[in-house]
Chains A and B, each alone.
Chain A
């Protein structure tokens, strides 16, 4: 054969290799900021979780997603102040707990939104803090539908302490909605008729071929819905495997990658109690909601659009990548097989035997526990009546996504309980989704003061909450749920602040607890305060037995004993465990990171101990005069919040310590910056606020484990004005 054909064959590598070689060649010198995420192994390469989190990418994305953003923000600013008083008044009633004097002023600017909404509607609806963007962004939305729905909610929802004022009539609206309903009904009937006709014609054309396809499809469905395990019985599983992984999530898959990279012919068996192949979770609360895929249910392969604009599946690899579990033992080159729908009840670390729930035993040489964690529920929901429980869900899997998406598609109102990563991301995503589809209202209820309060320092947490409100999320902080009850279609939550909240579904996002049920039967230690299996710095629980991911309570030689629940931690710890299972004997030295996105204006990444109970120093970019002028129109609203109740200790100093007078135009705007989290004055955590591709630098600084006299000097390294 000719040399040319060899050349063609080698093209695939050549491309990669050449490009890699080239980019290595021009790597910036130490501490120049990486221009691109090439060293962000976390998302951009291992699983091609490509999120090019540059500002340009985000800006472009914003322009796509929020075409009217600017117009919306600018219009109302001029009239805002005059209307503050009235708007505030009418709104205070609804949310008594928040109308405390100290909060009064800061609330005002959001309540202004009310004046954007027709007065009657405000009075009737239980959600007076409807952001103005809503109204100006989507004029084409059918107002009647929204109107009536709101009224209904308000009627049912008027709790003892939270009436929003008088009734007002909804006659015309009702009329219109009736017409609309008729139209919709007719449309549905037509559609159904068409569908039946289509099905019938299709049926008549059926041949054996498509019947076989049907069978295959139904088999697939049965497998997904948990009716059939893969393989059908545990007896078909091998009796011994060199590498056994308990769990089928991100840490498990990352470990497999590392094992197979270091042991080319490795045979790896994964035992998962899910009925799916390994998939990634971060897009479930983010990207999947932004991907247009209107008619699929479920979305095929859970494909979503990444920041780069390209699509990929939630699944790490396609079905073909995996081997049939029954063929693993005899394969020459090894591979990965996933036993789906099986649960492990015990690991005997001494005999190296894993026992399944049905008693079947599998021997191993090296074993990894990567059982992850399960979402928590609130006791009051757990103990509630079945009718209430069916309106309560947690959020962790693609099935949860499907279920919630159906509610969103049907324009239902959704209440999210909890202020953490999942809850806040989901609230933003749902608000966006609802806006795009003219959907229902999104509420977020939690007992803390503001969003992400465990992670963000107080001032930033509140600022974030305001941003989320401006996205259209009705955020109800400082609230606990006193009781939950049902009418025929809604679930009613009574809050301790007197409010009553009606919605179609409640999503509980109050954290998760590690899956450690096998610990006691296996004689493994669980950390009393952090939870999770206790392992050493090499992620080893016992000899030849490792734990990675959410369920791992590991010893970080730098920052002490930790347990981390983030995607990148699963990647990093899974990889380390996999390497150690092939004999690397490496300790945990590579700090994992995390990221989160809350709407178009907030994206952040963190590394180390990012814990808001620690003292922090944040350095934010103060826009120059010119920038400020340019920004003024769009940013004014957000700059206007002085958090008066923080004012008591919010004294302002110039950088040399002299108190200075603050220009009202200089109200804090936390656009871009870096926040250092300190422990014994050392930097132990870094949060990059709207700054991307700097996590490597942050990691280097954490690894110094040092005190710095002047953190502003450290901040300079991050080029926050770039």
Chain B
């Protein structure tokens, strides 16, 4: 028979708990945990400190990146971001000057890693199956262009906080 029991080694106590013992919900109530940092704040602003950006906002093209992303984020054009061509062009030109920093989509895996981590979270949580397709580019771009980003993000943020 399995049972819970305790051992005492001087000041150190040990409890061995069975699965059954821990199957009832805890009586402890805790406040909400610290919200994780997100890219878009509650007010719909861009959080440049979000670790999810990796080195994007702090790298050698950080300023160009910010301008392009801000333009896209606040764009009211239809389709969204269609008024940001210049900003994206500037950013892209900058990226090309720093291939080892920004050319990570294909060979280098750092970026993919960070992305993969988030993606995994995604698939584990809501069972998105073809996440590869989603993140692979075409799907994501299409979904993003369809205007899903902002509403979803902001609703998620408000729900969370």
Contacts and interface: CB of A to CB of B under 8 A. Distances in A.
Contact of B125 (A23, A651, A696): A23
Interface in B110-144: 110, 112-122, 124-126, 128, 134-135, 137, 140-141, 143-144
B74 interface: no
A466 B53 CA distance: 42
17 contacts: A8-B141, A11-B144, A17-B149, A18-B149, A24-B156, A27-B160, A39-B36, A257-B58, A258-B49, A261-B57, A317-B55, A320-B99, A320-B100, A618-B14, A654-B4, A655-B15, A700-B33
A30 B33 contact: yes
B71 to A, nearest CB: 9
A406 to B, nearest CB: 28
A704 interface: yes
A5 B143 CA distance: 16
Given A257-B58, A616-B11, A653-B6, A35 B125 contact: yes
A335 B32 CA distance: 37
A19 B3 contact: no
Interface in B87-126: 88-89, 91-92, 98-101, 105, 109-110, 112-122, 124-126
B121 A21 contact: no
5 cross-chain pairs, A with B, having the tightest CB-CB distances, nearest first: A14-B144, A45-B51, A24-B156, A39-B36, A716-B26
Instruction: Bin chain A's interface residue count.
Output: 35 or more
Nearest to A17: B149
Interface string B14-56: 1111111110111110111110111110000000110111110
Interface of B: 1-22, 24-28, 30-34, 36-40, 48-49, 51-55, 57-60, 62-64, 66, 68-69, 72, 79, 81-82, 84-85, 88-89, 91-92, 98-101, 105, 109-110, 112-122, 124-126, 128, 134-135, 137, 140-141, 143-145, 148-150, 152-153, 155-157, 159-160
B46 to A, nearest CB: 10
Interface string A437-474: 00000000000000000000111000000000000000
A647 to B, nearest CB: 10
A193 interface: no
Interface in A17-65: 17-28, 30-31, 35-39, 41, 44-46, 48, 50, 52
Most chain A beta-carbon neighbours within 10 Å: one of B30, B84, B155: B30
A294 interface: no
B160 A668 contact: no
B36 A660 contact: no
Interface of A: 1, 3, 5-28, 30-31, 35-39, 41, 44-46, 48, 50, 52, 256-258, 260-262, 264-265, 306, 308, 310-312, 317-321, 323, 333-336, 457-459, 579, 590, 614-625, 628, 646, 649-655, 660, 662, 666, 668, 696-697, 699-701, 704, 708, 710-717, 719-721
Given A10-B144, A36-B120, A321-B101, A617 B15 contact: yes
B114 A7 contact: no
Contacts of A22: 122, 126, 128, 152
A36 B49 contact: no
A210 B66 CA distance: 39
Given A17-B39, A36-B124, A712-B21, 6 more contacts: A14-B141, A22-B152, A257-B58, A258-B49, A317-B101, A716-B26
A699 B34 contact: yes
Given A660-B5, A717-B28, A323 B60 contact: yes
Contacts of A335: 60, 62
A3 B77 CA distance: 11
B5 A652 contact: yes
B26 to A, nearest CB: 4
B15 A712 contact: yes
B103 to A, nearest CB: 10
Contacts of B15: 617-620, 655, 711-712, 715
Contacts of A30: 30-33
A318 B101 CA distance: 6
A21 to B, nearest CB: 4
Contact of A50 (B37, B79, B117, B140): B117
A320, A459, A714 interface centre (most CB from chain B within 10 Å) = A320
Contacts of B156: 21, 24-25, 27
Nearest to A678: B11
Given A45-B52, A264-B62, A312-B110, A24 B38 contact: yes
B5 A662 contact: yes
A581 to B, nearest CB: 13
Nearest to B53: A16
Nearest to A24: B156
B26 A651 contact: no
A716 B124 CA distance: 22
B2 A11 contact: no
A272 B109 CA distance: 28
Contacts of B134: 18-19
Given A30-B32, A459-B12, A712 B17 contact: yes
B155 A458 contact: no
B113 A3 contact: no
A317 to B, nearest CB: 6
Contacts of B22: 621, 715-716, 719-721
B63 A333 contact: yes
Given A18-B148, A24-B160, A312-B113, A701 B30 contact: yes
Given A24-B157, A317-B55, A700 B31 contact: yes
Contacts of A265: 63
A435 B34 CA distance: 43
B11 A615 contact: yes
A696 to B, nearest CB: 5
A36 B121 contact: yes
A590 B49 CA distance: 15
Contacts of A628: 2
